[in-house]
Amino acid sequence: MKSSKINIIYFGTPEISAHVLQKISEEKINIVGVFTRPDSFNGRGKKLLESPVKQLSKSLNLPIFEPKSLRNDAIIEQIIQLSPDLIIVAAYGLIIPKEILDIPRYGVINIHPSLLPKYRGPSPVASALLNGESITGVSIMMLDEGMDTGPILAAEKFSIRAEHNTQTLTEELFQIGAKLLVSTIPPWVSGEITPIKQNTENATTTKLLTKDDGFVDWGSNCEFIARQIQAFNPWPSTFTSFSSKRLIIEKGFSVINPQLSSEHNKNPGYVTQTVLNGEVVTVVVCGEGFLVLTHVKLEGSSSQDIEDFVRGKPNFIGSTLG
């Protein structure tokens, strides 16, 4: 990115956002402040942890601000005093109020991990995986008062691979988004980009995920359950119950095979073994097809590949999950 004499305030919190900040910091721009969420207690020891963005900001000697809320006159005045020409938001964690949106002359730019107007809202990556999309992408957009409804400055497509889950896909999308962002800022501030209004007729909105979303209904199609495993990794995870404990299905894949169906005509949730491509595999009967299990984690235990799990718990074969 060519040298730009503008002042930028950055808003972000998690690791994916720290990558974006690092990319911006390598360019010849002036970061006058970084806003991130306050330190939080996490882990078994409930240790007070700094956000990844805060940790990076300290190493870069950037001014750090950690307000609990942005709906505060003192915070708004503080932002005004920083005189930002542009504000950049990447996975901050709070809604930016209109009073702040109106401060910078070049507006507030956000990295959104979908091809807007599809998948607005809080869970765009998980929703794309759950719906079986083969193509997604990242949008550089202007924030307004709506939920990801602002005009688009730039976008880039990205192919979803079979091994992707929400965590890995999100990481890759924000890496692409960081590069796209730094290449978008100069033409935006120089007036070379005309924002494109979103087509509301094509808009879709995602929901905030809950723990219950990860529960497996074995009466569902096996392909949908396999997509659940992708979409809900790492949170809320895809889970069922075995021996009155929660069993997280970390990895698996779907198989629809008429011969298998005739050989294993059992109720959904039934666990059995069969031969697939010359190898013995552990499968769960679904409403349609089978889910081949490869990695699981039983409540109170560590992650295991399915062979080790079955070896330690032979009664798993022949059980009914749910």
The pTM (predicted TM-score) of the whole model is 0.94
pLDDT of the residue at 102:
98
| In a domain? residue 322 | no
Distance CA 75, CA 131 (A): 40
Structure tokens at 113: 């991990």
Token readout for 133 is: 């999309």
Same domain, 251 and 188: no
Q: Does 43 share its domain with 62? A: yes
Kindly report, residue by residue over 62-90, the tens digit of the pLDDT: 999 999 999 999 999 999 999 999 999 99
Per-chain mean pLDDT for the chain: 95
Query: Is there a single domain that holds both residue 40 and residue 61?
Result: yes
Distance CA 271, CA 317 (A): 5
CA–CA dist 194, 102 (Å, integer): 19
Q: If pLDDT is split at 50, 70 and 90, which confidence band does 55 have?
A: very high
> 175, 202, 229 — which closes off a domain?
202
Q: Are 40 and 53 in contact (CB under 8 A)?
A: no
Beta strand 271-276 with 245-255 is unpaired
The reply to whether 218 and 277 lie within a common domain is yes
**CA within 13 Å, CB half, 242:** 25
Residues 46 and 24 in one domain: yes
Query: Based on the domain organization, do 141 and 229 belong to the same domain?
Result: no
Specify the CATH number for the domain of residue 271.
Answer: 3.10.25.10
321, part of any domain:
no
CA distances from 26 to 1, 30, 46 (A): 9, 11, 34
- Tens digit of pLDDT for each residue in 259-302? 666 566 689 999 999 999 999 999 999 999 999 999 999 999 99
Q: Are 14 and 123 members of one domain?
A: yes
User: Within this chain, do residues 180 and 245 fall inside the same structural domain, yes or no?
Assistant: no
* Window from 39-43, 229-233, 312-316, 318-322 with minimum mean pLDDT: 39-43
- Domain end position, chosen among 184, 202, 220: 202
- Same domain for 311 and 286: yes
In a domain, 28, yes or no: yes
**Both 237 and 190 in a single domain?**
no
134: domain CATH number?
A: 3.40.50.170
Residue 1: what pLDDT? 47
Q: Classify the C-alpha dihedral 302-307-312-317 as positive or negative.
A: positive
Domain of residue 311, residue span: 211-316
Beta bridge partners of 287: none
Domain contains 52: yes
More confident residue, 259 or 151: 151
| Continuous H helices in 1-72 | 15-25, 52-59
| 176 and 250 both lie in a single domain | no
User: Domain count of the chain?
Assistant: 2
Give the confidence band of 186 by pLDDT, cuts at 50, 70, 90: very high
Separation CA 88–CA 185 (nearest Å): 10
> Quick one: 215 and 168 in the same domain?
no
Last residue of a domain, one of 172, 202, 232: 202
Which among 214, 213, 216 has a CA at the least distance from the CA of 286? 216
CA distance to 199, 311, 315, 320, per residue, from 246 (Å): 43, 19, 16, 13
CB 9 within 8 A of CB 92: no
How far is the C-alpha of 166 from the C-alpha of 95, rounded, in Å? 22
Q: Which residues contact 238 (CB under 8 A, 6 or more apart)?
A: 214, 216, 225, 228, 229, 232, 248, 249
